Structure formats: C-alpha cells, structure tokens
C-alpha cells in the first residue's frame, strides 16, 4: 500500500520519502487500534522501502507528538481478564509493539522523528526508533513510567542507552522528570531544534538531503552505527511484565484512569 488513511494514523510516499502521520485524539495514545495500524504500516514497509529512501514520523495533534501508551485501555483490558491471564495479555501487546519497533528501527531507510509538545513514554520510545530526532523548541521528553511503578516497555531504555550516556538514562528514568528540546539536544538526543511549528518542515528538508545519497551507503552506515539491542529489549519486556503483576501498579493505573487531569502522572 503506497498510501493509507486509518483511524489513528495515515501514510503516503512521495519523492522517495514516506510520511507516517499519527493522528488520534487527544495525543496519539497508543492502544490496540494504533498498534493494529502500526502493524499494517510495518507490513507495507516491505514494499514501500523498495522505492523510498527516508521515513518521517510526525503528528498534527496540537498537544504533542505522542503521550505514550493508552493506559486507560491497558487498565480496562487488563481488568477484563482473569487475574491469571493479565500478564500474558500485556506481554502479548508489548511484544507486538516490539516487533513494530524493531521493524522501523531496522528499516533500510533514513528515519526521522519530527516531534513537538508532549513526547512522553511510548511517544518518546517511538521517536527513539528513528535515526534522527528533529524537535520543535516546545517539545518535552519524559519517561513517566516509574511514577506508576513500571518501567518503559516499548524499547525505550535500551534505545535511549544506545543514544546517550547511562547517567542520562538513569536521570530520566529514576526521576521521571521531563526535559525540553534544548536539553535533549545538549545531551545528544536531538539532532536539530526548530522554531515553534517548524519541526515537520525541517524534517522534510533533512529528508530531501538524505535521499540525495546512495541508498546502499546509507543502509550500511546505519547498520554499522545503530545496532539493535535485541537482548536488552527482551529483558525490558520481562522486567516490565514482572512489575506489572504488583498490586501497587494496579493501584497506580486505577488512580490514573480515575483522574480527570490531562497528565495525571505529573506533579
């Protein structure tokens, strides 16, 4: 499929560049609908990448790039299952996300995340799949999972560790604090910071530069410098599933679900 318009996202390909656009209210929370369409995308990627050289992931949502996993759906789906089956249910979801992430991470394309606003949790992890992150100056990155008694589970820890120093990973993980685009650039996470509303434009200009180069050289360079940490990714899933069974997590998720605040896990 050269183009697709779904319930949560769409894509099209032109001039050697694929644009994947997330668009699910309120802030692209990743639940089963988004996952299903991301799976369609990675299936289509097999064909798309034959004619394309770059991929841009972005979102027009005013609130931000992506607020992460749809925790309300996660909680309700989990509660609908008998307690003994809950971990298996969440593991299945997380492993599916990992297959999608690994496919995008390994794609023989130059991949660019054009982010803005809230880029939290699973949204941050989605950006970390990409080779380059172009961030609007109002972007904030955060791993709030520990506030809920969990760890990131979409591959965020090994991929952040791949890109920045271990001390930075511990800071973001253990404090759950959010950082702005300038700080993210200073630690080497973001390649370019743009003016407000300019991230997608800059990502497109960057993609236009990338597609001028030999595709084989791009793929070889990427494979050399951006290995996929499969063993640690698997470990992350195991730790997440182990933590998920604890009563404190269920209580934290319930509190989140019952809250009416826009970002209930923040101060």
Partner 1 sequence: MSTIQTTTDEVLRLASEHFKVPLEKLNPDDDFFKKLGINSLQALDLLTRIEQHFKIELPDYELQGVSDFRTLAERIQSRL
Return residues touching partner 1 (CB under 8 A).
Answer: 63, 117-118, 137-138, 140, 175-180, 182-183, 261-264, 266-267
**Cβ nearer to partner 1, comparing 64 with 155:** 64
CB under 8 Å to 122, separation ≥6 — which residues? 30, 66, 68, 69, 97, 152, 154, 156
Work out whether strand 54-58 and strand 17-22 pair parallel, antiparallel, or are unpaired. parallel
Please state the closest distance from residue 174 (CB atom) to partner 1, in A. Answer: 11
DSSP string, 252-264: HHHHHHH--SSST
Residue 13, helix vs strand vs coil: strand
Q: Roughly how many angstroms between the first and final C-alpha of the chain, as a whole number?
A: 43
**Cβ nearer to partner 1, comparing 39 with 63:** 63
Give 164-218 as a 3 state SS string: CCHHHHHHHHHHCCEEEHHHHHHCCCCCEEECCCCHHHHHHHHHHHHCCCCHHHH
> Is residue 197 within 8 Å of residue 163, measured between CB atoms?
no
**Cβ nearer to partner 1, comparing 228 with 266:** 266
Please state the closest distance from residue 23 (CB atom) to partner 1, in A. Answer: 18
Please state the closest distance from residue 126 (CB atom) to partner 1, in A. Answer: 18
Please state the closest distance from residue 135 (CB atom) to partner 1, in A. Answer: 11
**Cβ nearer to partner 1, comparing 41 with 120:** 120
Please state the closest distance from residue 102 (CB atom) to partner 1, in A. Answer: 30
């Amino acid at each position: 499929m050269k183009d697709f318009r779904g319930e949560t996202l769409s894509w099209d390909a032109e001039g050697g560049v694929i644009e994947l656009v997330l668009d699910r209210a309120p802030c692209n929370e990743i639940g089963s609908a988004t996952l299903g369409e991301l799976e369609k995308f990675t299936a289509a990627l097999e064909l798309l990448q034959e004619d394309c050289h770059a991929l841009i992931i972005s979102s027009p949502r005013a609130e931000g790039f992506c607020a992460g996993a749809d925790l309300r759906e996660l909680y309700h789906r989990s509660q609908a299952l008998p307690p003994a089956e809950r971990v298996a249910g969440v593991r299945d979801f997380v492993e599916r996300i990992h297959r999608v992430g690994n496919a995008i991470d390994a794609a023989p394309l130059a991949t660019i995340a054009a982010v803005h606003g809230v880029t939290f949790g699973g949204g941050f992890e989605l950006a970390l799949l990409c080779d380059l992150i172009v961030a609007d100056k109002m972007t904030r990155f955060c791993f709030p999972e520990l506030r809920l008694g969990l760890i990131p589970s979409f591959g965020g820890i090994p991929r952040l560790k791949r890109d920045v120093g271990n001390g930075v990973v511990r800071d973001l993980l253990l404090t759950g604090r959010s950082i702005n685009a300038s700080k993210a650039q200073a630690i080497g996470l973001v390649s370019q910071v743009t003016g407000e509303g300019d991230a997608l434009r800059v990502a497109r200009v960057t993609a236009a530069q990338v597609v001028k180069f030999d595709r084989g050289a791009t793929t070889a360079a990427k494979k050399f410098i951006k290995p996929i940490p499969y063993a640690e990714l698997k470990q992350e899933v195991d730790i997440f599933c182990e933590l998920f069974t604890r009563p404190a997590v269920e209580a934290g998720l319930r509190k989140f679900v019952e809250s009416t605040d826009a970002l209930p896990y923040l101060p």
